[in-house]
A and B are shown apart, each in its own frame.
Chain A
Amino acid sequence: MIDKTTSLENALKDIRDGDTIMVGGFGVPGTPFTLIDGLLDLGVSNLTLIKNEANEDGMGLSKLIEAGRAQKLITSHLGLNATVINMMNRNEIEVEFYPQGILAEKIRAGGAGLFGILTDIGIDTILAEKKEKVTVDGQLAIIEPALSANVALIHAAAADRFGNLIYAKSARNFNPIMATASARVIVEAEKMVECGGLAPDQIQTPGAFTDHIVVLDTLTKEYGILKHHVL
């Protein structure tokens, strides 16, 4: 019988120093806070982290970075995280920025077995400096290589034992894309349902992409309502 559910310790045990790790989420929604806390406890370091942003100071991905576990961050925007911006400015972590949708496409390409994408986004900016370019139909394009990782950490609203996943509202974001682009895909799920409990038409990540599922008994405090984002 296929059953991908496992303990937090077992799900994370093969992660090594120097691994590249994709982490889902855009702000709080979709960020796998429990898996990140588990990774922090595991003590691995020299990581390359890939996430849309670094969460906010003291939260989620920022905890790993603040603890000095990451040597590199590949991201889109750090506007809500002054701590990581300061670490970047002091050269305590290397940060590589991409336009948000280009970051998503690089990951999609990695998951789809493609070598990269061609784009004119940023072509007239400092972003295009030192990048390989190619002319397509008379237009200059940047060659953006695909991104893939050793591990993806994913937060799902619900899963079944096959690893079929659904996401909630704005918590989908980078999760289904990252779930395609990593050698090992570890999911924290808010709810387990029986096989067949998720309508086939509604499944957003088919089970083929999922390796391990950690069922959440409780949500971390970050999933409480953040007072500073309440009007």
Chain B
Amino acid sequence: MSYKDKIAERAAAEIQAGQIINLGIGIPTLIPKYLEDHKEVIIHSENGILGMGLPCKRGTEDRNLIDAGGTYITIETGASFFDSVLSFTLVRGGRLDIAFIGALEVSAFGDIANWIIPGKYSPGIGGGMELAQKARRLIVVTTHTTRDGQPKILNICTLPLTAKGCVNTIITELAVIDVLPIGLVLREIATNTNVETVIARTEAEVIIPDSELPKF
């Protein structure tokens, strides 16, 4: 299993039966593979779908049915379609239980930066700010470090923010970390690593609980 799938599989375990979730681009799109059918999880897509299913099998594509990233998709029984006003009424109105989102940087205070690297990367905002600010729970799913091995979980974000103080949990290939008022608290650790590695690859201070850490 790739490290991305490992993150997605662990992220899927955060979802409870019947919850309404939104999946950002990147690793979050792998999460549906790891959802159990009996949970009846309802996936929201920004382009006006509640009850999105898995991507289409080849040859069954419908030209009027894509996700927010352009992939041809299926829908689940009980799905609904709506316009862009209603789609974000659902988001800002607090109907989303969890938004899973990728990140360039996350801070110890739960700030997130993921939409712009000035001068290098500026595709726009999309639904990211609304999802980050208004989902009941914001879970960042990301690699623990950048491609160059630099920490992504920082004391303070250096890039322009997407939202301030909104992240509840960070899931990486190494660890599950909760953002709590006392700081970043390690909740779970990957089987192929150890606490020292997590601390070394995180710029912000990580609080290690006294009890034994569950592994994933």
Interface residues, chain A, CB within 8 Å of chain B? Answer: 26-29, 52-53, 56, 75-80, 85, 88-89, 95, 97-105, 108, 120-122, 124-127, 157, 168-177, 204, 223-226, 229-231
Contacting pair A224 B63 (CB below 8 A): yes
* Alpha-carbon distance between A102 and B127 when the two chains are bound, in angstroms: 9
Q: Which residues of A contact B65 (CB under 8 A)?
A: 29, 169-170
**Interface assignment of B173: CB less than 8 Å from any CB of chain A:** no
Contacting pair B64 A29 (CB below 8 A): yes
* Alpha-carbon distance between A100 and B56 when the two chains are bound, in angstroms: 25
**Interface assignment of B130: CB less than 8 Å from any CB of chain A:** yes
The listed residue (A75, A174, A223) touching B63 by CB distance below 8 A is A223
Closest Cβ neighbor of B88 among chain A residues? A101
Interface residues in B138-191 (C-beta closer than 8 Å to A): 160-165
Contacting pair B84 A80 (CB below 8 A): no
A-B residue pairs in contact (CB < 8 Å), sample of 28: A27-B47, A56-B70, A76-B125, A76-B127, A80-B70, A88-B122, A98-B125, A99-B125, A100-B46, A101-B87, A104-B83, A104-B85, A104-B87, A104-B88, A121-B133, A124-B163, A125-B161, A126-B161, A127-B125, A157-B64, A170-B47, A176-B83, A177-B83, A204-B83, A229-B71, A230-B61, A231-B58, A231-B71
Contacting pair B25 A27 (CB below 8 A): no
Chain B nearest CB from A206 CB (Å) reads 14
Contacting pair A177 B85 (CB below 8 A): yes
Q: Which residues of B contact A127 (CB under 8 A)?
A: 125, 129
Contacting pair B66 A27 (CB below 8 A): yes
Say whether, besides A26-B47, A99-B127, A172 and B83 are in contact (CB < 8 Å). yes
* Alpha-carbon distance between A150 and B164 when the two chains are bound, in angstroms: 37
Chain B nearest CB from A173 CB (Å) reads 5
**Interface assignment of B91: CB less than 8 Å from any CB of chain A:** yes
* Alpha-carbon distance between A53 and B47 when the two chains are bound, in angstroms: 12
Q: Which residues of B contact A226 (CB under 8 A)?
A: 70
Q: Which residues of A contact B164 (CB under 8 A)?
A: 124-125
* Alpha-carbon distance between A73 and B91 when the two chains are bound, in angstroms: 25
Chain A nearest CB from B48 CB (Å) reads 5
Say whether, besides A28-B63, A121-B130, A126-B160, A101 and B91 are in contact (CB < 8 Å). yes
* Alpha-carbon distance between A127 and B134 when the two chains are bound, in angstroms: 17
Closest Cβ neighbor of B127 among chain A residues? A100
Q: Which residues of A contact B72 (CB under 8 A)?
A: 225, 229-231
Contacting pair A77 B85 (CB below 8 A): no
Q: Which residues of A contact B46 (CB under 8 A)?
A: 100
* Alpha-carbon distance between A1 and B91 when the two chains are bound, in angstroms: 43
Interface residues in B32-75 (C-beta closer than 8 Å to A): 45-49, 55-56, 58, 61-66, 68-72
Contacting pair A173 B83 (CB below 8 A): yes
The listed residue (B66, B84, B89, B126) touching A79 by CB distance below 8 A is B126
Contacting pair A52 B25 (CB below 8 A): no
Q: Which residues of A contact B61 (CB under 8 A)?
A: 225, 230
Contacting pair A101 B127 (CB below 8 A): yes
* Alpha-carbon distance between A224 and B61 when the two chains are bound, in angstroms: 10
**Interface assignment of B3: CB less than 8 Å from any CB of chain A:** no
Q: Which residues of B contact A108 (CB under 8 A)?
A: 85
Say whether, besides A28-B63, A101-B91, A170 and B127 are in contact (CB < 8 Å). no
Interface residues in B86-134 (C-beta closer than 8 Å to A): 87-89, 91-92, 122-130, 133-134
Say whether, besides A126-B160, A231-B56, A100 and B125 are in contact (CB < 8 Å). yes
Say whether, besides A104-B85, A104-B88, A170 and B64 are in contact (CB < 8 Å). yes
Pick from B84, B87, B165 the residue with the most CB of A within 10 Å.
B84
Would you list the 9 A-B pairs with minimal beta carbon distance, nearest first? A101-B88, A124-B164, A77-B126, A77-B124, A79-B123, A104-B84, A169-B64, A26-B47, A168-B64
